[in-house]
Amino acid sequence: MQRKKLAILIFDQVEVLDFTGPFEVFSVADELHQFSLLEVCTVACSDKPITAVNGLKVVADYNFEDCPEDIDILVLPGGDGTKQHYNNPTYQSWIEEKYHKAEQVLTVCSGTRFLASLGLLDKKRFCTHQEVYPALAKLVPAGLPQQHLRYVTEGKLTSAGGISAGIDAAFDVLQCLAGAQVANKTAQYMEYHRNDADSGHEYQRHPVTPVKHFSLF
């Protein structure tokens, strides 16, 4: 397969594992195959360093203006910052353009907010963080939430539940792109036990207990 370009959006108050988990999966797969599979990069709104949840500072590879035009796979992570950026016209314009051009799109956690604001989840199955489903129901009443799943694929869109679910969804995307052998080899190297889509029901049986006056998503 020809090496594909994969871009991960990052922004202030992005959830760390939401973007570093998929980054690790895709970049390790590329490394294990002599850098022939995926050219992985990060993209931010500007050249300024972003501050992720809990203070991690990151400088993106590109900004919205100079990032590659031909992005094949788009990754939209979540985090508290989605609440500030999901209806920002600058973000909406860039995401909508890249979404329609991409072969595959992965959202993690509350990254679904970006697509919901653009009407791109209407009549589609989707997953998000358990605490975000009520907000998404208001943003996209025509959507089809899949709270019992860890991740789900609808056409070219794969959406993951909260935080760590993005790793499993990334492996699923990798398997679709490069095959089961590549995905399993990558998981073995990372010493990661993959969870299937149906494992999401565990979080319904043992839901997160919200902390009063505190919400990350």
Model-level pTM? 0.93
d(CA 80, CA 39) in angstroms, rounded, equals: 27
What radius of gyration, in Å, describes the C-alpha atoms of the chain?
A: 16
pLDDT 10s digits, 51-104: 999 999 999 999 999 999 999 999 999 999 999 999 999 999 999 999 999 999
What domains, with CATH codes, occur in the chain? 4-205 (3.40.50.880)
Q: How confident is the model at residue 213 (pLDDT cuts 50, 70, 90)?
A: very low
Length of the chain: 217
Note the pLDDT tens digit of each residue in 12-24. 999 999 999 999 9
Amino acid at 13: Q
